[in-house]
Structure 1
Amino acid sequence: MHFRLLSPLRVVQRLNTDNKKLASNQINDIFVTTTGITYIATNDGMLIGSGDKWTLEERYLNFVGVDAWGTNLWILGDDFLWQVDAKGKWSPIAIELKNVEGQLRDIAVDDEGRVWIASNMMTGYDVAADKYQRFGPGQYFTSQFVNCLDVDKDGSIWTGTKDKGLYLIQWESSLIISIENDNPLDCRSNEPIASLTTKVAGGQPPYTYKWKHRSTTADISKLPKGEYVLTVTDAKAAVKTGKYQILDPSIKATVTQLSPSSGQPDGSATVSSNGGSGQYIYQWDNDEPNITATKLTAGLHTLTVSDKSGCSTTATITISENLTPLSVLITVVSDNKCDYSTNGSLKAEVKGGKAPFKYNWSTNAGAANTLTSLASGNYKLTVTDATGQTSTANVTLNSPPAFSASIELLFPATANESNGQA
């Protein structure tokens, strides 16, 4: 599992009635234009500006929300709607009161320039055509408490309410296309068995369908892999295009070496996969189960990639080897405590090279990395690794000097007496 550490947050500025031209500390909405100008909607005017330059427009009016389309801003307040052009000119827009109900709560503008207003009902206003479309109980919009709204890329309105959850509303002339694959391709067969089903919402029925290079029906079948493009036209000549990519069910995997082996199982490699269901399971020949293997020995390795549909493929990689030079160090574990004793022991430590290692001691005392029951003297070790590299080390096993004693005569003994001293 990977975690990304985020930088700590800090407050860099606070705007209020004490240090700016704000007449109220109640902020209802904030909008920043593409040119960097900030509009702050309050219940006592609209604060506009950037940096240290701010102006308060329309003091004493309660502003609810701000949105933009092109170079024009749309500003909503209590019972009023304004349009602000690129030069900052404010133009009032007369809203027919019969098309809204109660308190105005939020505003959004779609990609066609249509203004959406939330009150006790939802109202769409096509400014260019001067046309309204209302959504209330008659259109199954039963909430009178809208909290927020926004427009998606298809021009549909997502409306959050206080009491009835979330509504998705579409302008009556907008077309929404949904394409689904009902029968995915099978990796165990080369037959073109995929089928696409189309659902259309919005616009004015009946619809006509035209698939690129194919039929004119809503649903098509017996399809191989590839991209399919559908154009739908409604009775009023509104046109919408949709696309669907039928994936190749076979899995393709490419393995890349990340680092060589150093003579130990420490080589690494990773795999890039595509096709299939896209949800992959990895199994390396050393039982590592991840997309990246980090315990690979030098030589050929095999990876199996499978998906939830049971499709699988194998890929291979040859891990190269980057050996460090072979070296050996002999350590005296214990010296002999007395001359002529055989209690000494030595241990050899090998670095670099490639296992397994062969040990050749000069005394022929053994072929392991440790020797015991040794007499004092000089010892030489030659180590050979699996690639033929050799390294030699020498050591002297010491013992204390041989014990000796001498006698000094102090006083000779008298005749027939034992009184001599030495």
Structure 2
Amino acid sequence: MSRIWIISILSVLMLASTSVYQRGFAQSLAGARLAADGSSDGPFTVSVTGKLALCSHSERGSIILDIEGGVAPYTFKWNTNETTQNRSNLYAGTYTVEITDSQGTLHIERIVVQPPYPLILEDLEKQNASCGSGNDGYAKIGVKIGRGEPYKVIWSHGLEDQWEAYDLAPGVYTVTVVDKYNCDVSLSFEIEAPNEGIEVTESITEVTCTSGNSGEVQLNVTGGQPPYQYSWNHGPSTSKITGLSAGTYVVTIMDQTGCAYQASYSLQSPSEIQVESEIVEPSCGGKSDGLIELKLTGGTQPYTVNWSNGNTGAKISNLNPGTYTASISDAKGCSYEQSFNLAAATELTVNVTDKVDLTCFNSNDGTAIINTNQPKDQLNILWSDGIKNVWSRNDLEAGNYTVQVSNNEGCSVETQFTIDAPDELSARIESTLEVDCAVGSVEGVAWVSISGGVEPYTINWNPSNASNREINFSQSSNLKVRVTDAMGCIVEAEARVDYPTNTKEGRLNFNYRKLEISSEPEVLTNEEIIFESEISDEFIAWEWSFGDGSKSVDKDPIHVFNKAGVYEVSLTGYDIYGCSSIETNVIQVNSPLEVVVIPNAFTPNGDGLNDTFMPKLRGIQEFYLEVFNTWGESMFITSSPEDKGWDGTYKGQLSPPGNYLYKITYRTPAGESVHRTGGVTLIR
């Protein structure tokens, strides 16, 4: 028996958000191709997406590479000898790819596929509701085993990121906990109540426009145990209250058992109709292209709008200069009237000067100045964000703006412009553990991934005060980094890094035996062989290879060798640190040999020697044996390999000594049917 160790480097840590991906880094090698003038080709960038964290051992990861820059086409060489751009069906581990463009520029990318880790919740703590209509239930959960914060907690009634839920009504709830790798586990439970709760339906009559005290509330109560007692916050003790003005009315209902139900009802006064208008004055030159469009709020829809020129609806167009009055009424009969004056306009021009874009992504320090060909004190200006009569702005956000300028003559003109912003400056701390399985050493590496803003960047780590993009760590801690771009924009990131205390070698061994008990010690083809493993707890995954092209991930698999030969069976174990080890056994598998030996005599005297007549068979698929006396009478029949044979009796009586005949038919391993007859002597 030999033991072979295979060393691999897997990552045990990936810090990322819901969409997890790993760091990438580019290296311009000293041997990279140089241009004719001696300058090297510029590097290209690679973004990594895909499924880079596993939630269970049955899952497989994937890697998708997106390349920008360089000169296509590109070639790819992975540390697993694959040459495709993207990868799928991946186990947890570290995958390194060398990417070379057509000019010889080399980029090296290291991607970590995170192995699964159990997420187990603590036992649920809960408190049932005091009664069926009581909202005083309580539940609490916690994580017993997991990778650590942050966790996302989602309760089925809408509560999020809270470990305890209060004020729960009776019913069935589900709570789901999601770890930082987007792996989740759910738990369902029921808040019970000792009896059925009070249920209330209401009929509400709102206050009308014509009467301020016309509101009513009528309650219909079921459930609980009647009779019911009613207590309103303004005094009444009946299920129906009338003569109500606008306001909030609170009622407490109690049944015979003391179970209480509280509800509040708000009555609104009919809101006043609010009118906002968009007016387009007739163009300069007396054209009939004026427009009035009303935006109506308040009141009660639908609205009815009648204009003094006979038109209806919230929008009228093709208007001449003049006064137009809108009479507006809502569904409750409330009414409102407003007049609008359209004046003839003169020609206007407008332009934008001194436009300055944002310094940082969210700095809101854009500026713009509006100029026109007419005196500004005789004009009105309206910005698309609602600002009026301001010609210079210095607090603009990024976006598209429209500016409308109109004069007292009803002529208006618009201009549009865009305030741009640089890409958002963002930073994210990522880390990995580089494990040397041969010597048991671990080195933590953390780096900051930066996007957006304006290069160059200034980096400051806390607590180390390092200024490089990548740092090393040798203990678990919280890392913080502050990034400042060339424009002075600042972003900060923080992450927790974990560092293992040790990497231990786990025990790995296995034995094998025939599943069906047999006196034959050798392994034959088409026999079921069970492989029994001894795998210590340090290993979280394993794989069998039987040497004939078959594999298995069962802990104690059963395998059948279909052909004779020598097979090297190996068991590979993977621990949580990404290290692996192999235990190998060599198995000789033989083809069964055909052996048929038929005795010519037997002595059934009970001495334990040659007491029965039974052929010795080996490598025979099936057989049929029958024994006759000299008159052709059948004395014994069997087709079972477990049968002990003929003991020299017939129907419970001893058969006389002498000669007997036998006939046997059997099928060889090659499928050939053989018939043999002969004689056997019974000796007493």
| Class of the TM-score when normalised by the shorter of the 2 chains | 0.3 to 0.5
TM-score (norm 2): 0.24
More RCO (CA 8 Å, sep 6+): 2
